[in-house]
Chains A and B, each alone.
Chain A
Amino acid sequence: MIVKQVSVFVENTVGRLADLTKILTDNNIDLKASTIAETVDFGILRCIVEEPEKTVKILVENGFSASISEVTGVSLEDKPGGLHKVLAVLAEAGIAVNYIYSTIKSAEGKAIIMMKTSDAAKAEEVLKASGVELAGADSF
């Protein structure tokens, strides 16, 4: 399923990420899933939240550069070959994967992954057709 992901630019200074999480906490925003891509000077926090538009608005008001992009959410069997099945489908369809991050949902033996692909709509279509279970912000 196509999921709206929030990306936030964060400087690499002590406490900066805590500034960000404080804003989320104060506004009662729950991070369903998150990852940080980093360089020496800065990082980009990518996260899944329930209300992405509202979250971006709050972050921008607080001086963060934040934006929304579309990623594809997939629910996998948490066992060997689970991820491969999905990637094989995408490769077959000629869809590139830019990055992936995952959250384990151990109670149900499932792993939920978020993928940024070169074509979100097509990715959803081919994954659905191959019987892959899709996941959204409410799947967590």
Chain B
Amino acid sequence: MEAAHKLQGLRDLWSLIRGLQITGDALFRRTVTVHYPRREVGNLASFRGPIKLVPRPKEPLKPKCIACLLCMQTCPSGCITVVRRKAPKLAAEQAQPAAAAGDEKVKKPAAPKEPERFLYDYSLCSLCGLCAEVCPVQSICFSSDVYMVSQRREEFRMDLLAKLQEQAGAAKGSGEKTV
């Protein structure tokens, strides 16, 4: 019993040396951290950044959005505000009330189903993705703009429509496809 006790004592002291071995070994191995900004992580594509609008394939300046307002209603944080584009004022014909029709297509010059402004408050967004899931035309997707920083709150309240048009305009100018 005494011998077992002493053996346990020696094993206990040896455990201290083993611990030192592990940290000593770690000391001489390479670091595992990604040294930003010299290097960046490689899996940003799947990480959710602020949402952005998906452009129409044939008209890169316009989003697929049909201003159904489902995203606005579904967002738990209330960070999306969509302002529908009003029907164009017809000078010659009789002025129709500027109510965008429901789901049915109207042949008469009614309000076009597109947003005039798509306001997004990133400071309220919880990146849950419900807006993207519920959009019937898949007009919302996540960007990879994860390094967005600012010193002013206003920069986190964006107009995604304006952003899309900026990017599309810039892409057109440089002749490349926008991400």
Do these two chains really belong together in a complex?
A: no
Please list the residues of chain A having a beta carbon within 8 angstroms of any beta carbon in chain B. Answer: none
Please list the residues of chain B having a beta carbon within 8 angstroms of any beta carbon in chain A. Answer: none
